[in-house]
Amino acid sequence: MPDYVIPNLLNAGRVLKLLASEPELTALQISRALGIPRTTVIRIVNSLVREGLLESDERHLYALGPALIYLGMRAMAGVDLTGLAKPLLKQLADQTGETAHLAMLSDEKSLLMEVCQSPLPIRAGAPAGTLADLHCSATGKVFLAWNFRDRLDDYFRRTMPRPRTGRTIVTAERMAKEIALILKRGYAVDEEEFFDGIRCAAVPVFNSRGHVTIALGITGVTQRLTRGRVAECAARLKAAAVILSEALGHRPSA
C-alpha cells in the first residue's frame, strides 16, 4: 500500500514544511523552491487556505494558518506536555515563591497553556489562555530570540508593536540588542515592560528538531522578584526546561 500515493497531497505537505522554515512566500517563490508548477502551487495553497492550514494577505504572501495550532496541540497531546509540566510548575512556584507558567508560540503571540500560582498571598500572573505580545513578555522574547532574530525588521514592521509601559521595547534595533543578551545568557527578562511593578523571566523548551515553540517562565512583583534574584530563578527554570525538552525528544548536540 505505501506505493499508492496522491502526488498533490505530498506536494501540499512539502508546501507546509517549506513555510514552516520560510514564513511568508508567494506562490511563485514556493514554485521555484519546490520545483512544482506555479498553477499547481496556486491550487494547493488555495485549498490549504480554505481549510485554515495556510493564510494569505493582500500582498499574496502565504504563511502557516491557525488550524495548524489545533493540529499541533492534538499531536502534542500524545506527549501530554501540560501533564508533565504541572509538577514542574508546582516545584518552580514553591522554590521561587513566584507564579510559574508554560507558554506556547501561537500566531505570533505567547499563549499561556498552564499556570501555577505563587503560594504567597501577594502574587502576580495571568490565567491560562492569556495571549501576550512577543515584544513585551518574557516568554514572547524567548520566541523572538529563537524564531525571529533574523527577521526582526519584518516582524516590527508588520506588527507595529505599541508600548505597554515606559520600558517596553518597540524598535527592531533595541530588540536586536536585547536578543543578543538573551541568547548569551539563555533566558529572557520582562523588566516591567508588560505591567509596571511586574517582572518576569523565561527560558526556551526545545523540541526534537531543536526548535523553540514552548517556553517556561515565572512572574512576580518587582519588590520580591528583584534583579538580583533573576539569575537564580532562571537557573531553576533552565533545569525544568531540560526535563520538558527531553520529553519532546530533544537531544543536545555534543
50 and 93 together in one domain: no
Grouping H, G, I as helix, E, B as strand and the rest as coil, residue 96 is helix
Q: For residues 215 and 222, what is the distance between their CA atoms, to the nearest angstrom? A: 21
**pLDDT tens-place string over residues 125-168:** 888 888 899 999 999 999 999 999 988 999 999 889 999 999 99
| Close Cβ partners of 241 (under 8 Å, ≥ 6 residues apart) | 203, 204, 205, 206, 216
CATH code for the domain of 112: 3.30.450.40
What's the structural domain count of the chain?
Answer: 2
Q: Which domain holds residue 82?
A: 71-247
**pLDDT tens-place string over residues 81-134:** 788 899 999 999 999 999 999 999 987 899 999 999 999 888 898 888 888 999
Which pLDDT does position 198 carry in this prediction? Answer: 96
230 and 134 together in one domain: yes
In a domain, 252, yes or no: no
Q: Which three cell numbers stand for residue 139?
A: 516568554
In a domain, 2, yes or no: no
Instruction: Give the burial class of 241: count Cβ atoms within 10 A of its Cβ; 0-12 exposed, 13-18 middle, 19 or more buried.
Output: buried
Domain boundary among 65, 96, 113: 65
Q: For residues 160 and 150, what is the distance between their CA atoms, to the nearest angstrom? A: 17
Which pLDDT does position 3 carry in this prediction? Answer: 62
In a domain, 253, yes or no: no
Domain boundary among 21, 40, 65: 65
Integer CA distances (angstroms), 33 to 29, 217, 236, in order: 6, 37, 43
Q: For residues 219 and 73, what is the distance between their CA atoms, to the nearest angstrom? A: 24
User: pLDDT-derived band of residue 1, with 50, 70 and 90 as boundaries?
Assistant: very low
**pLDDT tens-place string over residues 51-75:** 888 888 888 899 888 677 667 766 6
Percent of the chain having pLDDT more than 70? 94
Q: Measured at the alpha carbon of residue 52, what is the angle toward residues 46 and 55, in degrees to the nearest 5?
A: 65
Whether this model's pTM surpasses 0.75: no
Q: Which three cell numbers stand for residue 131?
A: 495571549
CATH code for the domain of 61: 1.10.10.10
Q: How many CB atoms lie within 10 A of CB 131?
A: 15
242 and 180 together in one domain: yes
CB 213 within 8 A of CB 105: yes
